[in-house]
Structures are given as structure tokens and as C-alpha cells.
Chains A and B, each alone.
Chain A
Amino acid sequence: MQRLVCKRLGLGILRLSDQPGGSLQYCANVLRPAALFASKVPEQPTWVPIDHDRVPIDHDSLPEVPEIDLALVEQLERISLVEFNNEAGLRRLREAVKFANQMHVVDTEGVEPMDSVLEDRECYLRSDEVTDGNCVEDVMSNASKVEEQYFVAPPGNIPMKKRDKEHLSGILNTPTDGDKAS
């Protein structure tokens, strides 16, 4: 019977009577929900995202979430050359790591890592010939400091100054913190 009713889609008409100014007559055809038709779309959600706050997950089945201490913070800042602004930044990293740790519910035994979706194709390799050049001015046009045809950088190989981590002390659970607290 529903087949007859819905011979063609787009029968449903939605009127928005409360348009601004009342002058806009907005009508749209919508795909009509045919609730009685044996749909292939599942009635209920088939899975629930792991949410540490709401859904208890069996943490014992997962490897422990790595601790993030002062030494690690300093290491990450050194290699990233960006700083954790504040405690919120550090908390974000902890959340990101905790989220990533969920991967360990998946059994990947014997599965090769996948670098590229083109792995089974031969990608184009051009012949080793110079095809462009004479563009020094173009290449350097966006640099703030240049000297002749060189980019200018400050002296290298000078270790970064040790940054004060006072702003992270509330969240970093380190001996230093403990000392301060006592």
C-alpha cells in the first residue's frame, strides 16, 4: 500500500509559516519518511562511541595511558618548538592521548601498516631533469629578512632557554610539584 502512496518521492511539503516578514513563502519537497516500508536502515544505533565520561569502558583491557610528566613536556616542547600555553593545553594533550589509546581495542595482529591508499599503483616518477629555475626572486619574495640571495637566520646551535613551568604546576604531577606543595 505504501508503494502506491509513495510512487514518487518528494511529495512532502514543508511550509514555514513563521518566515521573517511573512513575505517569504518557503516550500520544499522532502523525501517522505516511509516508516512502514521494510527499511534496510537499522532502527537503533549499532554502536556507541567510547566516551570516558559517560560510557564505562573496561580500562583493564587497554594498556595504561602513558603518564605525561615534566620531562616529557620539556621534550615535546623542544622538538615541536611550540609551548604548552597553560594547563588547558596540557589537559588537551592528555585527552588526545587517552582518546588515541582506544585504538588498542582493535586486534591488528599480523596487519601491515598502510602508508598510502595508492600503495598498489605505480605512481608517476618524472625523469631527473631540470624543468624550472631562475626564480630566486620569487622564492625569496616572502622572506622577512634577506641578504643578497640568502635567507637570514639568527645564530644556530644555541640551546633554548629553560622555560619556567610554573603555569603548568597545578597539573604536572612531578616531584618538583610535590616539593612546592609541601
Chain B
Amino acid sequence: MKSLTVKKALKLLRSRQISPTDLVHMCCERMKETNSLNYMIHEIPSDILSHQAKISEQSYLQGRPKALDGIPIAFKDNFCMKDTPTTCGSRMLLNYKPPYSATMVEKVARAGGIIVGKTNMDEFAMGSGSLDSWFGPVANPWNLVARPGREAEQASGWVIAGGSSGGSAAAVAAGASLAAFGSDTGGSTRNPASYCGLVGVKATYGLLSRHGLVPLVNSMDVPGIVTLTVEDAAILLDTVAGHDARDSTSVCETYAPFEMDRALDLSRVHIGIPREFHTSGLSAEVRDLWSATADALDRAGAKVSQVSLPHVQHCLVCYHVLCCCEVASNFSRYTGIEFGLRRGSEESTEELYAETRHHGFNDVVRGRILAGNFFLLRKNFDRFFLKAQRIRRLIGEDFRSIFSAGVHFLLTPTTLTEAPTFAWFSQKDNRTRCAEQDIFTTAANLAGVPAVSVPLGVSRRGLPLSLQVMGPHFSDARLLSLAHWLEQQAAFQHLDLSSTNNFSHAHLDSQDIDTC
């Protein structure tokens, strides 16, 4: 199977050139072959998949297929799925089977999509490498073809998938599903999409329901979409967008299915290049791609100008404080009483809570809870929490004033570099890495604006390079049109594993998993 897109698959299914059973079978085979990349936490049993494929087959036979009928789709393991393990990559929830499904899961299932598995992630989505999971690190499927020089000969020369939705991105890149859902709080969908050569969409805050998505930072979390192409992302977004009464932050406007403008008239588009997105650490390859793309838009008739978002350089620290504070509050639900791990003394409630939480959470989660409670102490509340909220407003205002001054979209890098190696990434702690990795992505979460990462080039080492486009609130459809235009110009070649024979991957044999 060579890079089968959702669009192409739907076409093949409608013309009966392929059956849902074949399609699901192909994905499951690929999942088995690439098992060593460790992107799946829970695979849906094959009898359930066959049953669903048969139902889809009936829909096609009756000539009444639904929007995603028969399309294999994966979900990050922080989306609740009824009676199916939902662990968030944490020991805390190893035994948790939600009694309900997330709205995203429900909408995909109702549209005929076949959910093939729950993907690996940084514990509770805290991370940008997909290394800090109870289930071990995720490896980037591009390791199977790219040859990053001699380094690859060493066990830890392999490149990471990015995170925290690394499992979802790796699943799509490897062909285990045709699309996947991740979550995006500070870039967790766009970052792995960028490193795995995929389209990653973070929609406007409020457009996609968060009901059933285990919360990290309520004011910033959004479900994310990972696909091979922009058109595929549009198909998925169209299927799952819209108001949900069960999410109080889901916006009320009746959602009108959007039409991506495939023939975007660039002469009427004004693109801003925010100067602050050229920061130290930006690789020459990414910068060149960014310049070349800006120039290409210019040549194609768009107005391209340099703009300034003066406060975005404070995004990371602002995000850091707000994230810890919301985590401290959100994670008080994990006590061992109602669900999840229960461990420790039965002599006292507080002793039980403390021991359960001590064993259930990893260092990163515990660290953010402790830091959050520090920032929220009465004596620190104004100085840290409210200060961060004030900076958040300034960042939001930066976007607002740029967009109201006539700039339609912003073009920036998604990440500083191509996918880094595990060896390099694990030299520093989680907080330091997040502060580098999320440098271009957190702004969109703080401001609530839509952002799309598109793969547009390949590095000298043969790894994907991506850029990000951002637009005003609820400009999602137009933003995808622009992303689609860029995608067409670049003609990026997706990872093709069809002639790969050796799927074994060194990292599972090495010591890396133990050291994580």
C-alpha cells in the first residue's frame, strides 16, 4: 500500500475496487509489520474490526455510504472510547475503561469510520517527544527509510516521532491508519505531524468538541487531526466539527460544512511573515524553506510582508505557567477512589491519595503539579498566575491587531529543525525540551487561532521539513485552502514503505526503553 489517502480510498471504495475488509486488513498488516515503532497502545480486536468492515460493506452495497465509511482511523489514547482501555500513556489509568465515548470518537464512528487502535503518547500529553510514556518511546517511521548518516548505526541514532501525539502521527505515516486524531495543547499535533511528514491541523478553539478528551489544559486543549494531505484533513474536519452541548466551550454557531477553495486567488491574499519566528536555533534548512515558500507566494501574486508579533517571544514562559496551574487543578481528580490506580494505606484517605498519585504519575506530571500549586499559592497567585494571564492577553492582542490590519494569514516554521535523534533529545529534561520544541506552536493555542502544519520539503538527511500557517479565529476553511496551495506547489513525497522489506527497528532491542 503506497500512501493511500482518505480521498483516494473513498473513491476506490465507492467504485468497489477495494472493500472495507481489504482496507482494514491492509492497515492491520502494516500495524503488525511496523510494530517495533511502538506507536500503538491498544489495538482493537480483529473480530470487532471485521464486524465493522462488514457493516460498511453493506452501506456501499446499498449505495448509501456515509462520509467516512470503511476508513481506518486511529485515536490518541487520551480520547475516551466506550469499554475500551484509555490510558493516556500513564500507569494511573492502565485499568481504566471509560463508560462513554468522546464526541470525536462518536462522530467518526457515526460517519462509518473504523477505529483501529489507540495510539501512544507522552504521559497525559505532557511532552514533545513521545518518549515519556508508560509504554515506552515512539520511533519515527522515517527511520525505516531515511539514513541519517553514520549516526544511525548507533542504537540511539534513530529519530523521534515528536509529540505528544507521536503515536498518532507515526500510525498514519506508517500506514496503520489513513488518518488519526491527536490533541493539541501547545503544539502536540503539529509537532509530530511535522516530524513525520504529515499534515497536522489545530482547529480554532471551540470548533471541535473536547467532550471525552482527557483534559490537560482546558483553556487551550483542542482535538487535532493528522492526515497525509490537506484535502484529507478537510474531509475529517468537516465530519467532526460543530457545536456539542456536552462541551461548554464548544461554540454555538451552527456549523456550515465548509468548502475548501481549491482555486485560491492569491492576488487577494495578504501573508504576514512574523519576524519573531526567526529565533536562534532555527536550522538553515528550515529557514531556507521558509524563505523559499514566502518568495513563492510572492511570485504567485500574494502580498507578502514582514510583520511583528512583539509578545510571541514570551509564549513559552506564559504557556509554562498556565499549563502547570491548570494541571495542578485538573489532576486533583486522580485519587484512586472512583477510577484508575488505587494503591497504598487503607488507614487514611490522604495517605491513600498520596501513595496512589506517587505511583501513578511520572516525574514530569508530578513536577507540573507541584510547580502549578506553587504558582497558585496565595502569595504567588498575582505574581505568577495572573501575570501569565495578562501576558496571554497581550499575545492574543498581537494576533488580533495583525489580522485586523489586513493580514489574512501568517506563515512560520512549525519546528526549529527536522526530527531530532533520540540520543540528542534525551540529553535534556522534559521542560527544557518542551521550551524548544513548542517555540513556534504555543502561540496559536494561547490565542485560540487555527494553525496547520504542512510538510513541504526534505532535509539533506532525508527527513521531512514543514511550515505552519495560522489565520484568524474560525478561518479554518480558508487556512486549509492556503495549506492546500502550498502542498500542491511542493509536491512533497510521502513516506513509502511499500518496498521496504525489513521493518525491524533497532530501538526496541536497545537499552533506550529502560532509560526512559
Known: A6-B296, A31-B456, A63-B383. A96 touches B279 (CB 8 A): no
Residue of A nearest to B289 (CB): A31
B contact residues around A112 at 8 Å (CB):
390, 393
| B493 & A82 in contact (Cβ 8 Å cutoff) | no
Known: A29-B492, A103-B314. A151 touches B291 (CB 8 A): no
Nearest-neighbour CB distance to chain A for B246, whole angstroms, equals: 9
B contact residues around A49 at 8 Å (CB):
279-281, 313, 316, 435, 439
Contact check: which of B245, B328, B337, B496 meets A153 at CB < 8 Å? B337
Contact check: which of A19, A37, A83, A108 meets B394 at CB < 8 Å? A108
A contact residues around B314 at 8 Å (CB):
102-103, 105-106
| A158 & B321 in contact (Cβ 8 Å cutoff) | no
Whether A167 sits at the interface, judged by CB under 8 Å, is: no
Contact check: which of B100, B280, B317, B338 meets A99 at CB < 8 Å? B317
Whether B54 sits at the interface, judged by CB under 8 Å, is: no
Interface centre among A19, A76, A102, A135 (most CB of B within 10 A): A76
Residue of A nearest to B473 (CB): A117
Nearest-neighbour CB distance to chain B for A125, whole angstroms, equals: 8
Nearest-neighbour CB distance to chain A for B8, whole angstroms, equals: 19
Q: Once bound together, how far apart are the Cα atoms of A97 and B384, in whole Å?
A: 9
Interface 1/0 per residue, A98-133 and B, CB below 8 Å: 011011111010011111111001111110000000
Interface size, chain B (Cβ < 8 Å): 119
Q: Once bound together, how far apart are the Cα atoms of A105 and B336, in whole Å?
A: 41
Contact check: which of B448, B460, B502 meets A20 at CB < 8 Å? B502
Known: A27-B493, A151-B338, A158-B351. A41 touches B429 (CB 8 A): no
Contact check: which of A21, A37, A76, A144 meets B373 at CB < 8 Å? A76
| B349 & A156 in contact (Cβ 8 Å cutoff) | yes
Q: Once bound together, how far apart are the Cα atoms of A89 and B206, in whole Å?
A: 35
Whether A180 sits at the interface, judged by CB under 8 Å, is: no
Residue of B nearest to A102 (CB): B317
A contact residues around B347 at 8 Å (CB):
154-155, 158
Whether A181 sits at the interface, judged by CB under 8 Å, is: no
Nearest-neighbour CB distance to chain A for B91, whole angstroms, equals: 13
| A142 & B145 in contact (Cβ 8 Å cutoff) | no
Nearest-neighbour CB distance to chain A for B271, whole angstroms, equals: 8
Whether A160 sits at the interface, judged by CB under 8 Å, is: yes
| B278 & A46 in contact (Cβ 8 Å cutoff) | yes
A contact residues around B462 at 8 Å (CB):
14, 16, 26
Whether A28 sits at the interface, judged by CB under 8 Å, is: yes
Interface 1/0 per residue, A63-94 and B, CB below 8 Å: 10010100010011101111111001100110
Would you list which residues of chain A between 1 and 31 have a CB under 8 Å from chain B? 3, 6, 8-10, 14, 16, 18-21, 23-24, 26-31
Q: Once bound together, how far apart are the Cα atoms of A151 and B349, in whole Å?
A: 12
| B373 & A79 in contact (Cβ 8 Å cutoff) | yes
Would you list which residues of chain B between 383 and 422 have a CB under 8 Å from chain A? 383-384, 386-394, 396
Known: A24-B500, A44-B278, A80-B370. A31 touches B293 (CB 8 A): yes
Whether B61 sits at the interface, judged by CB under 8 Å, is: no
Contact check: which of A14, A83, A105, A113 meets B389 at CB < 8 Å? A113
| A-contacting 9-mer, from B36-44, B159-167, B185-193, B248-256 | B248-256
| A135 & B489 in contact (Cβ 8 Å cutoff) | no
Would you list which residues of chain B between 278 and 296 have a CB under 8 Å from chain A? 278-282, 287-296
Contact check: which of A92, A96, A158 meets B348 at CB < 8 Å? A158
| B350 & A158 in contact (Cβ 8 Å cutoff) | yes
Secondary structure at chain A's binding surface: helix, strand, loop or mixed?
loop
Contact check: which of A39, A81, A103 meets B391 at CB < 8 Å? A103
| A19 & B273 in contact (Cβ 8 Å cutoff) | no
Known: A24-B499, A85-B366, A117-B396. A40 touches B304 (CB 8 A): yes
Nearest-neighbour CB distance to chain A for B49, whole angstroms, equals: 24
Nearest-neighbour CB distance to chain A for B457, whole angstroms, equals: 4
Contact check: which of A30, A77, A85, A103 meets B457 at CB < 8 Å? A30
| A108 & B387 in contact (Cβ 8 Å cutoff) | yes
Query: Contact size class for A?
Result: 35 or more
Q: Once bound together, how far apart are the Cα atoms of A140 and B396, in whole Å?
A: 42
Q: Once bound together, how far apart are the Cα atoms of A135 and B100, in whole Å?
A: 11
Q: Once bound together, how far apart are the Cα atoms of A26 and B46, in whole Å?
A: 34
B contact residues around A34 at 8 Å (CB):
291-292, 295
A contact residues around B313 at 8 Å (CB):
47, 49
Q: Once bound together, how far apart are the Cα atoms of A102 and B320, in whole Å?
A: 11
B contact residues around A14 at 8 Å (CB):
458, 460, 462
Nearest-neighbour CB distance to chain A for B44, whole angstroms, equals: 20
Whether A175 sits at the interface, judged by CB under 8 Å, is: no
Known: A42-B278, A99-B317, A114-B390. A29 touches B490 (CB 8 A): yes
Nearest-neighbour CB distance to chain A for B483, whole angstroms, equals: 14
Contact check: which of A16, A21, A123, A143 meets B248 at CB < 8 Å? A123
B contact residues around A16 at 8 Å (CB):
146-147, 462
Contact check: which of A40, A81, A102, A144 meets B353 at CB < 8 Å? A81
Q: Once bound together, how far apart are the Cα atoms of A60 and B192, in whole Å?
A: 39
| B147 & A28 in contact (Cβ 8 Å cutoff) | no
| B328 & A80 in contact (Cβ 8 Å cutoff) | yes
Whether A159 sits at the interface, judged by CB under 8 Å, is: yes
Known: A16-B147, A26-B145, A93-B367. A81 touches B243 (CB 8 A): no
| A111 & B394 in contact (Cβ 8 Å cutoff) | yes
| B219 & A116 in contact (Cβ 8 Å cutoff) | yes
| A33 & B288 in contact (Cβ 8 Å cutoff) | yes
| A31 & B305 in contact (Cβ 8 Å cutoff) | no
What are 9 A-B pairs at a CB distance below 8 A? A20-B147, A28-B458, A33-B289, A39-B291, A48-B279, A80-B373, A104-B387, A117-B206, A142-B95
> Known contacts A16-B147, A88-B363, A123-B251; can you find 20 more A-B pairs with CB under 8 A?
A6-B299, A23-B499, A28-B493, A31-B292, A31-B456, A34-B292, A37-B295, A40-B306, A45-B279, A47-B280, A49-B316, A68-B374, A82-B369, A92-B363, A100-B384, A103-B314, A121-B251, A121-B252, A154-B349, A156-B348
Residues of A within 8 A of B (CB): 3, 6, 8-10, 14, 16, 18-21, 23-24, 26-35, 37, 39-42, 44-49, 63, 66, 68, 72, 75-77, 79-85, 88-89, 92-93, 95-97, 99-100, 102-106, 108, 111-118, 121-126, 135, 138-145, 151-161
